[in-house]
Structure 1
Amino acid sequence: MVQGKFKKAKLPASLQKKQKQAKAKPFTRRSNAPIQPKKAKFNEQQKIKNAISKTVNKSVENELRSRAVEGQIKLSKAQEAVAKYHQAKTATEAGPSSSAS
C-alpha cells in the first residue's frame, strides 16, 4: 500500500500560460476609453444633410427664379440710358411729322 501523497504533476509551459491568461482579469476598454453614444454621430450626420439640402434648395430656387425672369431683359445703367436716349430720339422725330400732317 502506498503511504505517500501524490506529487502534483507539472503542466507543460504552454498550458500553464493559457491557464494564467484565463484566470487573469479580462481587459476592459470602458474605463480607459468610454464608448461614445451613437446619437451624437447621427445628429452630426443629420446636420450635414440639412445643410446640404438647404444649399441645394437655394441654388435650385435661384435657378428657377432666373429662368422665370429670363424673358425680361435686364440692362445695365449705361444700356438703359442708351435705350432711353434712342426712345426719346424716335419719339421726337415721330412727333413733329405726325402733327404736321
Structure 2
Amino acid sequence: MAQGKMKVKAKLPSNVKSKKSNGPSATQRSNRPIKPKKKQHEESQKLKQIISKNINKKIEEEVRARASGGQQKLSKAQQAVATHNSES
C-alpha cells in the first residue's frame, strides 16, 4: 500500500519553446551506402589460404629433398599430383 502523496512531474514554464527536429537524424546514410565487410573478409581469407598453401608446398619440398639426400623419389600417384599442381 502506498503511503503519502504522488509525486508531481516538473513542467516547463509556458514561455519556454520546445526544440523542433529539423530533418532526418544523422544516422541515416542513404546517399553513401556502407560496403559489406563479408566480401573483404572472404578476400583476405582467400589470400591467407594461398600464402599458407605455397609455404606448405615449399616446406614439403625441402623436407623431401633432405630426407632423400637431394633426390626426389615419388610414386606414380605423387608424380601425377605434382604435374597436375604445376600446371595450374
TM-score calculated relative to the size of structure 2:
0.49
When you count helix as a share of all residues, which structure comes out higher? 1
TM-score calculated relative to the size of structure 1:
0.44
